[in-house]
Amino acid sequence: MSAVMEHPPAPTTPPPAAPPRQSLPRLRLRLPAAPAQRSMRAGFALWVGLIAAGLVAWTVVYAFGVSALQERHDQSVLYSKLREELSAATAPLGGVIEPGSPVALISMPSAGLRDVVVVEGTAAGDLTAGPGHRRDTPLPGQAGASLIFGRSTFFGGPFGDIPSAHPGDRITVVTGQGVAHYLVRDVRRAGDPYPPPVAAGKGRLILATAAGSGWRSGWASNGAVYVDADLQGSTFPTPSGRPSAVPKSEQPMQGDPAALYSLVFWLPLLGFAGAAVLWVRQRWGAWQTWVVGAPVVLALTWAVTQDVVRLLPNLL
């Protein structure tokens, strides 16, 4: 019996190990915005641009056109009030007077002024209703120099023609103390010599407005111009208690920085109202949205415009 030689099995080579699984980078696909979203974004951007352009255009129209109608209405109301006070002998004579109150009537035929109401105060907001009396000076007709500021262009430009005054032109002012007559002494601009001081017991009236010079003459005001007039006759009694100084906002060619506070409040509201109108229009309808939203937008636009104009120089 032959021995069977068994050979050991040949060693087998283990299969190669599989390479480690590497994580594939995740692909983030950015889907294009839906047509409705693109339309909303484009509409919002268009609305913002229209608001900005419309606000600038409306401010120009308001300053050069609509403001004159507003001033005419205010003058009518103030004239009726001052007429009643003059008849009842209750018109203010001096001391501390509430800004915006009517204090006098001024007439200057050579400058087209006829019974124009003068209010107390010379800030930009005060001069929207007409010429303003500077609070730290005596009232017209009283001893000393009385200053009256008036706009040259905006809000009817009541003092727009006083730079063309000539020596000898007559100015008449009516207050609660009576009628005061003045004769123009001279017209001066920046750099011109000052008139001599007012003599004791005498009165002077100084009218101030804005005017252009050089290449800006006739279309762009860039400086103040003053008309000095001397009182004819005796002065009225001068009550005490007038303010000794006024803030910078009531001095010539100054804006009213207080308007910034309200502008910061109204301007975001206007932007929010515009965005709300656009959002509602997409879900409600065009004409329904405008019927409800247009009065709100117009009211906010009016408030913003008022504050913007108050930031401009008070004599413009």
266, 301 contact by CB (below 8 A):
no
Tokens representing residue 66 in the block: 């609509």
- pTM for the model stands at 0.79
* pLDDT computed for residue 85 by the predictor: 96
Q: Which residues face 187 on adjacent strands?
A: 227
All structural domains of the chain, each given as residue ranges with its CATH number in brackets, are 91-250 (2.40.260.10)
Give the Cβ contact number of residue 151 at 10 Å: 26
- Alpha carbon dihedral 296, 299, 305, 306, in 10-degree steps, equals -150
pLDDT at residue 7 above 60?
Answer: no
CB crowding 51-71: b at 16 or more within 10 Å, else e: beeebeebbeebbeeebbebb
pLDDT confidence bin for 2, thresholds 50/70/90: very low
Distance CA 314, CA 316 (A): 6
Reported as a single tens digit per residue, the pLDDT across 19-69 is 555 555 555 555 555 565 666 666 667 766 776 787 788 888 888 889 999
Among 123-137, 154-168, 207-221, the range scoring the smallest mean pLDDT is: 207-221
Distance CA 208, CA 133 (A): 10
Reported as a single tens digit per residue, the pLDDT across 140-186 is 999 999 999 999 999 999 999 999 999 999 999 999 999 999 999 99
* pLDDT computed for residue 141 by the predictor: 97
Among 2-11, 14-23, 94-103, 171-180, the range scoring the smallest mean pLDDT is: 2-11
149, 136 contact by CB (below 8 A):
no
Among 23-32, 88-97, 294-303, the range scoring the smallest mean pLDDT is: 23-32
Percent over 70 (pLDDT), the chain: 82
Higher pLDDT, residue 189 or 118: 118
